[in-house]
């Protein structure tokens, strides 16, 4: 799954970036081609206006009115519509100038650096005259024309446009090479970045698989006991309920364990999906912690452990009473369960100017640094505590409860200070 996801990330990334690069290169090619055509057109227009014959544009005997460029530099910038432009047109040395009457009959021809067959020239002139545009390309001859419409006929300038196509081809080849190179670089970058992108997904996937494996393991044990008890009772066909009380009680106990485990897993699943939807209200947290402390005093006494409650009165916060009761139960239960004999469990609830601090401290086996990193992971239990009954979900649930009320749960453990779980709620 992770490999497929990584391949998809690379593919989507390359596809999106490739489309963007392709669009950019397309715009560059189109713009380059358009500029080349425009420059050649402007240069050809200048040639046609300079070299055009008398009797075309300004009357039969009137010369074409062209100012000396040295005297008026702005005439170097004549566009095809005669407008001002700050771009210098391309200089054309090879061209053909043709003058015709209104019927398209050629009256004069001037060639400079280029020659054409008479029939081909007539065909090109006919195409230019029949065109509705004043300029354009004659693709079959690789020529560009500019047509000046005079009073008595036309002046038509022709020039070779194969250079434009050559430039376009070179631009396309260059952009294609750049595109291939860019996609190669994008692939390498995507390949490297995809490994970072899938890390959270990989971690979540591994946790999910571990969660399913651990849940299956935890559920398997009580199911095995229940099935074994049923087989025993089924083999005693003549026994009464009283005779089988031992197996029935064992089945009931394991069933309750399964129910507890399933309830805990459902709580975590709903928390992950944001579907807890618990009702929040102002809760007297002091009363909840005091009540939980009293409930655990008999359990602690049996283990030779003292409970020292240091609880400020009337500590309130906005939360859910049921979940806060579950939180205090989990933390105090863990502290008593893992305390050394003749040690003290200290329960503190303090109200500060910026919030509420609830902590439970005990002295027992120090939690190692490696275990501290995973202490809130689901089904995680330090190796030394495997013999202690439980599922390893309590602290995960405690963390979810604290975070659902905009709090933070942390843990510290060392020889000197013991192990302390601290829940802090900020206003």
Residue 332: pLDDT band by 50, 70, 90 thresholds? very high
Is residue 89 located within the same domain as residue 158?
yes
User: How many domains in the chain?
Assistant: 3
Q: Report residue 122 as tokens.
A: 């007539």
Average pLDDT over residues 255-275: 75
Beta partners for 98?
109, 156
Is residue 268 located within the same domain as residue 288?
no
Q: Which of 256, 273, 290 is the last residue of a domain?
A: 273
Is residue 208 located within the same domain as residue 298?
no
Is residue 305 located within the same domain as residue 403?
yes
**CATH assignment of the domain containing 227:** 1.10.287.130
Average pLDDT over residues 333-344: 91
203 compared with 84, residue with greater pLDDT? 203
Q: Are the C-beta atoms of residues 149 and 81 closer than 8 Å to each other?
A: no
- 22 φ/ψ sector (left φ>0, alpha ψ -120 to 50, else beta): alpha
Looking at residue 60, its pLDDT comes to 38
Average pLDDT over residues 354-377: 88
Q: Are the C-beta atoms of residues 241 and 248 closer than 8 Å to each other?
A: yes
∠ CA 198-203-206, nearest 5°, is 120
Pairing relationship of beta strands 418-426 and 407-414 according to DSSP bridges: antiparallel
Residue 79: pLDDT band by 50, 70, 90 thresholds? very low
Cα-based distances in Å from 56 to 49, 51, 91, 108: 11, 12, 24, 11
**Measured distance CA(205)–CA(199) in Å, rounded:** 10
In what side-by-side order are the strands of the sheet with 407-414?
Answer: 306-311, 344-352, 355-362, 418-426, 407-414
| pLDDT above 50 for 54 | no
Looking at residue 34, its pLDDT comes to 87
| pLDDT above 50 for 211 | yes
Helix (H) or strand (E) holding 153: strand 153-160
Is residue 300 located within the same domain as residue 260?
no
Residue 357: pLDDT band by 50, 70, 90 thresholds? very high
The mean predicted confidence, pLDDT, of the chain is 80
380 compared with 372, residue with greater pLDDT? 372
Residue 239: pLDDT band by 50, 70, 90 thresholds? confident
Q: Evaluate whether residue 356 is within a structural domain.
A: yes
Is residue 110 located within the same domain as residue 244?
no
Is residue 222 located within the same domain as residue 118?
no
Which phi and psi (to 5°) does residue 153 adopt? 170, -150
**Measured distance CA(59)–CA(152) in Å, rounded:** 7
CA nearest neighbour of 312 among 348, 283, 345: 348
Q: Which of 148, 166, 184 is the last residue of a domain?
A: 166
Each residue's pLDDT tens digit, 226-235: 888 888 888 8
Looking at residue 55, its pLDDT comes to 40
Each residue's pLDDT tens digit, 102-155: 888 888 888 888 888 888 888 998 898 888 888 888 888 888 899 888 777 888
Is residue 235 located within the same domain as residue 317?
no
| pLDDT above 70 for 378 | yes
Each residue's pLDDT tens digit, 8-32: 888 888 899 889 999 998 998 888 8
Looking at residue 68, its pLDDT comes to 34
**CATH assignment of the domain containing 162:** 3.40.1840.10
CA nearest neighbour of 297 among 347, 254, 260, 250: 347
Parent domain of 206 = 199-273
Ranges of beta strands (E only) in 325-401 are 344-352, 355-362
Return the residue matching tokens 């397309």.
26
Residue 356: pLDDT band by 50, 70, 90 thresholds? very high
Buried b (16+ CB within 10 A) or exposed e, 146-174: bbbebeebbbbbbbbbeebeeebeebbee
386 compared with 301, residue with greater pLDDT? 301
Is residue 155 located within the same domain as residue 242?
no
| pLDDT above 70 for 62 | no
């Amino acid at each position: 799954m992770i490999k497929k996801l990584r391949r998809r990330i690379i593919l989507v990334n390359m596809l999106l970036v490739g489309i963007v690069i392709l669009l950019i290169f397309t715009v560059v090619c189109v713009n380059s081609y358009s500029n080349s055509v425009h420059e050649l057109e402007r240069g050809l227009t200048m040639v046609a206006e300079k070299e055009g014959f008398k009797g075309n544009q300004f009357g039969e005997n009137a010369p074409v009115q062209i100012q000396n460029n040295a005297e008026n530099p702005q005439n170097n910038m004549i566009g095809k519509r005669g407008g001002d432009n700050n771009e210098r047109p391309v200089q054309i040395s090879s061209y053909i100038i043709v003058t015709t009457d209104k019927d398209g009959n050629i009256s004069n021809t001037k060639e400079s650096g280029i020659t054409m067959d008479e029939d081909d020239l007539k065909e090109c002139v006919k195409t230019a005259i029949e065109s509705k545009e004043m300029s354009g390309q004659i693709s079959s001859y690789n020529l560009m024309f500019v047509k000046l419409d005079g009073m008595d006929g036309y002046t038509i300038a022709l020039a070779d446009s194969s250079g434009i196509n050559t430039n376009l081809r070179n631009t396309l080849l260059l952009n294609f090479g750049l595109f291939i190179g860019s996609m190669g670089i994008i692939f390498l970058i995507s390949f490297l970045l995809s490994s970072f992108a899938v890390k959270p997904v990989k971690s979540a996937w591994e946790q999910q698989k571990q969660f399913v494996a651990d849940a299956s393991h935890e559920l398997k044990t009580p199911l095995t006991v229940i099935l074994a008890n049923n087989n025993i009772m089924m083999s005693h066909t003549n026994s009464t309920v009283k005779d089988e009380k031992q197996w029935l009680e064992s089945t009931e106990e394991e069933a309750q364990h399964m129910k507890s485990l399933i309830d805990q897993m459902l709580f975590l699943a709903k928390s992950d999906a944001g579907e807890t939807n618990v009702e929040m209200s102002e809760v007297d947290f002091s009363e909840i912690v005091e009540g939980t402390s009293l409930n655990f005093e008999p359990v602690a006494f049996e283990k030779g452990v003292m409970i020292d409650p240091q609880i400020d009165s009337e500590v309130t916060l906005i939360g859910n009473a049921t979940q806060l009761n579950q939180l205090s139960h989990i933390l105090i239960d863990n502290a008593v369960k893992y305390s050394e004999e003749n040690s003290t469990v200290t329960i503190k609830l303090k109200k500060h100017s910026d919030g509420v601090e609830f902590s439970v401290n005990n002295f027992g086996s120090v939690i190692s640094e490696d275990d501290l990193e995973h202490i809130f992971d689901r089904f995680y239990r330090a190796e030394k505590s495997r013999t202690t009954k439980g599922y390893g979900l309590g602290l995960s649930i405690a963390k979810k409860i604290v975070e659902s009320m905009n709090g933070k749960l942390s843990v510290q453990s060392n020889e000197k200070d013991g192990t302390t779980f601290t829940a802090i709620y900020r206003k």
